[in-house]
Amino acid sequence: MHQNLKVSSLVGSLLVAVPLTLGLAGAATAETTITAVMQAPLRSLDPVITTAYVIRNYGYMVYDTLLSVDANGDIKPQMLEKWEVSPDGKTYTFTLRDGLTWHDGKPVTTDDCIASIKRWAKQDKMGQVMETLTTSMDKVDDKTFSMTFSAPTNIVLRALSKPSSLAAFMMPERVAKTSPSEPITESIGSGPFKFVASEYKPGVQAVFVKNQDYVPRKEPPSGMAGGRVVKVDKVRWVAMPDAMTGINALKNKEIDFIEQAPYDLLPILEQDKDIQLIVAKSQGGQPIMRLNQLIPPFDNKLIRKAAMAAIDQKAIMQADIGNPKYYATCGALFGCDSTYASVAGSEDLIKAEPEKSKALLKEGKYDGTPVVIMHPTDFANAGGSFVPVIAQQLRQGGFKVDVQAMDWQTVVTRRASQKPVADGGWNIFTTYLSLADITDPLSNYTVAANGKQAWFGWPTSPEIEKLRQQFATSADAGELKKLATEVQKLAMEEVVVVPLGEFSVVAAAQKSLKGILNAPVPVFWNIEKTKD
Amino acid sequence: MLLIILKRLAATVPVLLVVAVVIFSILRLTPGDPAAIVAGDGATVQQIEQIRHHMGLDQPIPVQFFKWIGDVLQGDFGTSLISNLPVKDMILDRMGPTIAITLYTVLYTVIISIPVGIISAWRRGKAVDKVVTAGSVLGFSVPVFITAYVLIFIFSMGLGWLPVQGYRPLSEGVWPHIKHLILPVASLGTIYIALVTRFVRSSIIDTLGEDYIRTARAKGLNERSVLIHHALANAAVPILTIIGITITMLIGGVVVTESVFNIPGLGRLVVEAILAKDFTIIQALIVLFSVVDIVINLVVDILYKVFDPRIES
């Protein structure tokens, strides 16, 4: 009996243990994959050559940055162990942390970082300012390098930590030596994910696998800073040209995540108990109106001010977003809730003042020539949805308006023309900027006012440029705030750019995804995919 | 016959040359700059100029044309201006879904529409004919995306039998492959079935009025033989024509279906390339579509001869 009991116990144990073991083994080897639909399909792979947001997001998967900004806006080390500043505030010495390797297994060295900074600084607007102040960049050893500037400044910290286009991604030296106007052809980074080139189909899908060799920081994640701990095996970005298909696929559990769910389809998702909506304010954007200051009538400040007086932000944001839950009216050029937020000089923007606009037009001797506004009918957030509203407001303000419908790519081409309207030029175009791109007078390239060197619209204001230069060389928080407010005031006075409000992005995900970070850029570290 | 084929193939050369010149010119004359697209929203005029120079788009248009045509003659379609990948590889990647969807839609169309068209013609004026005619009108009146959304609503969201979107190649298994194509083919097929059914019906009706049909019946042949061996065989030429047209339409023209069902086929590739002004891809695809069109027409012409030996060479 005893023997029988032993035998039966053994058999029973086996019966329980074998399936359990098999089950556990199965669970251990089951691959967790997040399938995500991003805001645009990935079609190219150089995050330094372009400011396209999807390529920036790809950059954060594959590459790493020396510094990053946490949820409070503080600058933190990322690839760095530490940095030191010389007593005169002119020299910064950076030390890389241990365990950094490229995806091909080679160690990350200071030569790689120096080459990467040089290539990035040629392209990035803040990097270009930093470059003008840089007197030398020297290797100390394989893990340490220094940068010396002509004046005391902390621009290097602000530039290398800024989260958005163009983020200062580190690349192997041989890749970073590529000319900045020539796209790189390799996807070798040192970031938390590895890019699977063999599964890449431009415009269709991009696949990333967990970088098993990545050593994350020990600190908890916060904003873009802290440990970039990957908790899934694979992330698949799939393109879905039809928004409704994406929503249906999410509801049918064929995908896990939509980076930007269309506002008009949100009610469908709100009713689904298995789906979570994430209002990502920091990933939101600021629609803007840009006036061409090289040619009449907007070469006249009074007429620019008339256009600003004609604007009613609420009507525009209602047409753009529709649901007040996801937008705000605000005239702050550097973001309504940012460190440098100021609404100075933007009083005329919030509510339309057609009579004031008409008076300014009269004073400015507007001759009634129609102003050409480009209407990108295929790109809602860039103006497709709200240009007709702007046109009507301008008409009510006394302007004659010629709305020209075209696709976004034609706008992108035509806005580069500095010629008169009759020769293919333009007077007004609209677009939007990611909030992560506009946080201060250097990163917000729309306030640059150095004439033909400035962004499309080419405003000229030596005072603004002087303030921006001072902003670049200052390191005092109080002074920086004061300078930013001055830029805001002057930019509004000169109508360098017309902000039209601010909107939040709404991401949609299966509830089985836990740990989605509220960062200024959609990131895939820290996300777990549970079975429920 | 071989001589005819060779002659017809030789005649395609000037056609392709005209296509190449026209598409190349149209792309350069219409607004849109791939360099500005690559550079992104924040780029300055100077940065865009640098990228344009790197792409070779700052060279005179004739220089660009002869370089492109020279490369194409050597089998090199160049690299995509946006993704920097070889155009040939990108097209080959997208060809599978397009071939699959075309093949299945044509098969589905032929299997359904030929018998239904014959029956409808045979029972002309009867209830079955009226139902078929009404169904045909409905079939090609309803836009394909409406049919697609209705099918998704019923079979994917409602019953949960089929996926909403996506494509799986045959290499990933027969059922996953078929499962992902049932709804797209059913949606697309609705229009083509309606079209071909009406065509078959009218062709058979025309043929049934011929003297040789009366003779066949007078000989005592049963209706099935009359319909299949006499009516259908003689109505084959116009039916082949419409099937040929269907195939050419399917190869490049199923953009809406590919978008709604998220199928990465050639239709979507050409639209994406047009929106991104990716000249090299557009040029290669238009030339490819022209070649396919010519080949299909050639095959249809050869089949005419097979089905109707009276047709002159």
Residues in CB range of B223: below 8 A, 6 or more apart: B122
* Partners of residue A453 in chain B, C-beta under 8 Å: 44, 46
Task: Report whether pLDDT(B103) > 70.
Answer: yes
* B45, B83, B160 member nearest A202 (Cβ): B83
Contact call for B83 and A455, based on CB within 8 A: no
CA atoms of B212 and A252, how far apart (whole Å): 57
Give the helix/strand (H/E) hosting A281. strand A275-291
Bridge partners of A37, per DSSP, are A238, A258
The SS3 call for residue A280 is strand
Tokens of B118: 């014959």
Phi, psi of A208 (to 5 degrees): -130, 140
Of B147, B89, B91, the residue nearest B265 (C-alpha): B91
- Contacting residues of A for B275, CB less than 8 Å apart: 378, 407, 409
Chain B interface test: which of A42, A44, A179, A442 (most B C-beta within 10 Å): A44
* B189 SS3 class: helix
Task: Reduce the DSSP state of residue B212 to 3 states and report it.
Answer: helix
Q: How far apart are the first and last CA of chain B?
A: 8
Q: Which of A356, A290, A281 is nearest to A499 (CA)?
A: A290
| Pairwise CA distance, residues B204 & B50, whole Å | 64
DSSP 8-class letter at A237: E
Indicate yes or no: CB of B90 within 8 angstroms of CB of A238.
no
A177, A164 contact by CB (below 8 A): no
Tokens (6 digits) for A404: 């020209």
Greater model confidence, B27 or A293: A293
What does DSSP say about strands A371-376 and A401-406: parallel, antiparallel, or unpaired? parallel
pLDDT of residue B147: 93
The shortest CB-CB distance from B262 to any of A179, A245, A454 is to: A245
Looking at A389-527, which runs of residues are DSSP E strands?
401-406, 428-434, 498-499, 502-510, 513-514
CB contact under 8 A, A410 and B31: yes
Nearest CB neighbour to A43, from listed B54, B82, B260: B82
| A193: three-class secondary structure by DSSP | strand
Give the CA-trace dihedral at A100, A106, A107, A112, to 10 degrees. -100
Enclosing H/E stretch for A56: helix A53-62
DSSP state of A108: P
CA-CA distance, A200 to A180, in Å (whole number)? 23
Q: Which two tokens stand for residue A308?
A: 């600003």
CB contact under 8 A, A49 and B259: no
* Angstrom distance (rounded) from CA A64 to CA A42: 19
Which residues, numbered 210 to 239 in chain A, qualify as contacts with chain B under a Cβ-Cβ cut-off of 8 Å? 238-239
A451 contact B CB<8A: no
CB contact A240 to B (< 8 Å): yes
Contact between chains at B164 and A183 (C-beta distance less than 8 A): no
DSSP letters for B25-42: HHHHHSS--HHHHHH-TT
**Cβ contact, residue pair B269, A203, below 8 Å:** yes
Contact A409 B276 (CB under 8 A): yes
Matching residue, tokens 């677009």: A431
Q: Which residues contact A21 (CB under 8 A, 6 or more apart)?
A: none
Distance CA A500, CA A224 (A): 27
Report, as an integer, the average pLDDT of B215-237. 84
Residues of B in contact with A410 (CB under 8 A): 31-32
**pLDDT tens for each residue of chain A, 532 residues long:** 344 444 444 444 444 444 444 444 444 457 899 999 998 889 889 999 887 889 999 999 999 999 999 998 899 999 999 999 999 989 999 999 999 999 999 999 999 999 999 999 998 888 988 999 999 999 999 999 999 999 888 899 999 999 987 899 999 999 999 988 788 988 999 999 999 999 999 989 999 999 999 999 999 999 999 999 999 999 999 999 889 999 999 999 999 999 999 999 999 999 999 999 999 888 999 999 999 999 999 999 999 999 999 999 999 999 999 999 999 999 999 999 888 999 888 887 888 999 999 999 999 999 999 999 999 998 888 999 999 999 999 999 999 999 999 988 788 888 988 999 999 899 999 999 999 889 899 989 999 999 988 899 999 999 999 999 899 888 888 999 999 999 999 999 999 999 999 999 999 999 999 999 989 999 999 999 987 5
The shortest CB-CB distance from B259 to any of A49, A241, A416 is to A241
Helices (H), A146-287: 155-161, 173-176, 243-251, 266-270
A282 against B135, higher pLDDT: B135
Contact B264 A204 (CB under 8 A): yes
What does the alpha-carbon distance between residue A63 and residue A60 come to, in Å, rounded to a whole number? Answer: 5
Cα–Cα nearest to A36, from A215, A205, A193, A271: A205
Start-to-end C-alpha separation, chain A: 45
CA distance B185 to B44: 46
| Chain B contact present for A367, CB below 8 A | no
Within chain B, where are the H helices? 2-29, 34-39, 45-55, 61-73, 87-122, 127-141, 144-151, 174-208, 211-218, 223-225, 233-252, 255-260, 266-275, 279-307
Residues in chain B closer than 8 A to A180 (CB atoms): 50
Distance from CA of B179 to the nearest CA of A (A): 14
| Both structure tokens of A528 | 């777990």
Residue B312 pLDDT greater than 80, yes or no? no
Pairwise pLDDT comparison (A145 vs B69), residue with the higher score? A145
Q: Which of residues 124-183 of A touch B (CB under 8 A)?
A: 125, 165-166, 179-183
Closest CA to A376 of A387, A368, A389: A387
Residue in chain A closest to B49 (alpha carbons) equals A181
User: Are A370 and A470 contacting, i.e. CB atoms less than 8 angstroms apart?
Assistant: no
Hey, is the C-beta of A204 within 8 angstroms of any chain B C-beta? yes
CB-CB under 8 Å, B45 with A418: yes
Chain A residues in contact with B93 (beta carbon < 8 A): 201, 204
* Sign of the CA dihedral with B94 first, then A41, A172, and A33 last: negative
Beta bridge partners of A67: A77
Q: Do A49 and B264 touch (CB under 8 A)?
A: no
C-beta atoms of A245 and B260 within 8 A = yes
Is A123 in contact with B156 (Cβ distance < 8 A)?
Answer: no
- The stretch B76-93 carries a mean pLDDT of 90
Q: What is the pLDDT of residue B313?
A: 53
> Nearest-CA distance from A183 to chain B in Å?
8
Q: Does A376 touch chain B (CB under 8 A)?
A: no
Chain B nearest-CA distance from A144, in A, is 32
Structure confidence at residue A279 (pLDDT): 93
Q: Provide, as residue numbers in chain B, all residues whose Cβ is less than 8 Å from the Cβ of A245.
A: 164-165, 259-262
Judged by CB atoms closer than 8 Å, whether chains meet at A412 and B44 is answered as no
Tens digits of residue pLDDT in B270-291 = 888 888 888 899 999 988 888 8
Distance CA A290, CA A382 (A): 12
For residue A85, the distance in angstroms to the closest alpha carbon of chain B comes to 31
- Separation of alpha carbons A452 and B49, rounded Å: 14
Predicted pLDDT at B31: 74
Confidence at residue B45, expressed as pLDDT on a 0 to 100 scale:
77
Select from B33, B51, B160 the Cβ nearest to the Cβ of A181. B51
The answer to whether B156 contacts A416, with C-beta atoms less than 8 Å apart, is: no
Give the closest of A123, A181, A413 to B32, CB-based.
A413
